[in-house]
Amino acid sequence: MDKWITILILSSLILLSGSKVPEIVEVPVEVIVRDTVVINEALYTLPDTVVFNHRISSTYKNRFHPVLKYWRFHYSIDIAMPTGTDITADGNGRIKSIEYRRGGYGTNVIVSYGMNTEGKEVTIRYSHLSKVLVKVGQMVKKNEVIALSGVSGLCSGAHLDYCYMEDTEKLDPITNLHIIVLS
């Protein structure tokens, strides 16, 4: 084993400090506390493959809004599903925020999945929920149920609005994740 190991520090301490750019440091292997490394690896995992059992009803694009009745950009994808469908975490992460809005996204949960290799925080906003099953700050594991789908906010039917973000930039989930639709 090499005397030195290069590690990308992606610990919860970086997230709590507000630092947006992780440091790459070289440390002697003996200095690494094995339990800390294991804990940090378990805390955050970036989503890679996301499986939906329901059809994608709207994609990341300019579209005619079904409720507002005018054209505007849709910065997420919509997955049509019945109210009460389990919504699960796409990796290990931390509940960053929970919001309840009458209009817009309605009830939504934002999960932080840690930092990517470019030092940007990866988050996913799950919106139009009927029920939230987690609390802000709670750590969640991949496939853990975090909420139930619904029709809250400004929408024309039951679905999940799925928004992928790096820092605050909203990016197309289809081009940034491996999405599999089973139905």
- The verdict on 80 and 110 lying in the same domain is yes
Q: What is the pLDDT of residue 42?
A: 55
Q: Which two tokens stand for residue 75?
A: 């910065």
Instruction: State residue 120's pLDDT score.
Output: 94
Same domain membership, residue 144 and residue 107? yes
Tell me the C-alpha distance between 107 and 90, whole Å: 18
Same domain, 101 and 27: no
Query: How many distinct structural domains can be found in the chain?
Result: 2
Q: Do 24 and 81 fall into the same domain?
A: no
User: For residue 84, what are the CA distances in angstroms to 32, 60, 112, 149?
Assistant: 44, 24, 23, 5
Range of the domain at 84: 49-181
53 in the same domain as 39: no
Q: Can you give the pLDDT at residue 165?
A: 95
Task: Say whether both 88 and 164 belong to one domain.
Answer: yes
pLDDT given at position 16:
41
Question: Which stretches of the chain drop beneath a pLDDT of 70?
Answer: 1-42, 64-65, 67-68, 70
Q: Please indicate, yes or no, whether residues 13 and 59 belong to a single structural domain of this protein.
A: no
Q: What is the CATH number of the domain that holds 60?
A: 2.70.70.10
DSSP 174: H
CA atoms within 13 A on the CB side of 5: 12
Same domain? 93 vs 157: yes
- The answer to whether residues 53 and 38 belong to one domain is no
Indicate if 28 and 57 belong to the same structural domain.
Answer: no
